[in-house]
Amino acid sequence: MNGLKEILNPVLKLKNNIEILKQYDEFDDEALDDDMKKEFESLYEGTIKLLKEQETLTYLSGEFDNNAAIFEIHAGAGGTESCDWAMMLSRMYTKYFNKKGYTYEVIDEQPGEETGIKSIVYIVKGRFAYGYLKNEKGVHRLVRLSPFDSNNRRHTSFAAVDVIPEFDDNVDVEIKDQDVRIDVYRSSGAGGQGVNTTDSAVRVTHLPTGIVITCQNERSQIKNKETALKILKSKLYQLKLKEQKDRINTIKSDHAGIEFGSQIRSYVLHPYSMIKDHRTNYETTNVNKVLDGDLDGFIESNLKGERLK
C-alpha cells in the first residue's frame, strides 16, 4: 500500500498544483499583492521540481531498478590519500542516501592503516535504490592539495564504486557446497565494549570465480553467513547477466559499455573547482554541494543518457 501511495500521491499533487496555477490567469497582475505573487511563484517552482522528479522516474524501467542495492567503495592505489578519498565518497553517498530517504547498513568495512577506509560495503534499501545508484559504478578521481603532504603538493587519488542489485531468494542461481569455502574469524572494531569476543565474522569464498564476501555487522555467525551468501548469490547472478550481455555485445559493432575499471567522474578541488562526469559532460563548480550529497544532476543526466543510447 505504501509503495502504491508513493507512485500515486505525487501525480495527484501535480494535478492539484496545476489546477491552482491555472487560477493565476484569472487575476489581473495589479490585483495581486506581493504575498500572493510570492505564493504563486513558490508553488510554480515546487511544481516544476516535482514534474522533473516524475520525469526522471520514467527512465527507471529496468528489470532490477526497484531492487535494493549492494553498494561498495574501494580505495585505489595511493595508500593514505586513496583511503581518505574513499572515506570522503562514503560520506557523500550516505548524505545522498539520507536525502533520498533510503535506509542503509554497513555490511563490511576495512579501515585504512592511518586514516580513512580501504573499503566499505552497504546494503541500500528504498524505492528505486538500484535504479538511481547503478550509474555511479566506476572509478572516481580526486585532484586536490594533499592535507597529508607537508609540502602541500597536488595529488591525484582514485577510488572505485561497484553497485549491483540485491536479488531475492527466488533468483535461479545454484551455489554448490563444494564450490564454497567458509572461514570464520573475530570481528574487528574500535576497541572497548564494541569488539566482539567471539568468532562471528564470516568470509565466504566462491572457489570457481574467486569472489570473496565478508560480513561482520551482525553478532551472530549464522546471520553473517546468511547475509554473505545472499550477497554472493547476487554477485553470481550479476556475473551471469554480464556474460549474457557480453555475448550480445560481441554481435554489436557500436558497443561502448562502461566497465568497472573505467574513469567516470573527476572531482577537481585544485587549481580550480569543478566536478565533471566524463560520460555525459555534466559538470558543476559547486563542489561542496556535491560532496554534501547533492548528486541529482549527475544521476539524472546519466539516467537520461542511458535511455537515449
pLDDT in tens, 145-183: 998 887 888 999 999 999 998 876 666 778 899 999 999
**Poorest-pLDDT segment among 64-78, 162-176, 278-292:** 162-176
Query: Whose CA is closest to 167, among 217, 121, 230, 97?
Result: 230
Which pLDDT score is estimated for 251? 45
Which residues, including other chains, have CB under 8 Å from residue 26's CB and lie 6 or more apart? none
Which pLDDT score is estimated for 261? 52
pLDDT over threshold 60, residue 296:
yes
69-170+259-308 CATH, one of 3.30.310.220, 3.20.20.30, 3.30.70.1660, 3.60.90.10: 3.30.70.1660
Kindly indicate the confidence band of residue 77, based on its pLDDT and cuts at 50, 70 and 90: confident
Cα distances (angstroms) measured from residue 186 to each of 2, 34, 105, 215, 216: 40, 66, 20, 11, 9
Helices and strands per DSSP (H, E), number in the chain: 7, 11
Q: Where are the domains of the chain?
A: 2-57, 69-170+259-308, 177-249
**Poorest-pLDDT segment among 90-94, 220-224, 298-302:** 220-224
Average pLDDT for residues 195-220, to the nearest whole number?
A: 84
In the 8-state DSSP scheme, what is residue 11?
Answer: H
| Predicted confidence (pLDDT) per residue in 112-141, tens digit | 999 999 999 999 999 999 999 999 999 999
Cβ atoms of residues 86 and 118 within 8 Å = yes
CA 151 to chain centroid, in Å, comes to: 34
Radius of gyration (Cα) for the chain, nearest Å? 23
Which residues, including other chains, have CB under 8 Å from residue 101's CB and lie 6 or more apart? 126
- The DSSP code sequence of 77-122 is SSTHHHHHHHHHHHHHHHHHHHHHT-EEEEEEEEE-SSSSEEEEEE
| Predicted confidence (pLDDT) per residue in 33-45, tens digit | 888 888 889 999 9
Query: Whose CA is closest to 43, among 87, 13, 2, 80?
Result: 13
- CATH architecture, domain defined by 177-249: 2-Layer Sandwich (3.30)
- What share of the chain has pLDDT > 70, as a percent? 88
Kindly indicate the confidence band of residue 190, based on its pLDDT and cuts at 50, 70 and 90: low
Prediction pTM value: 0.76
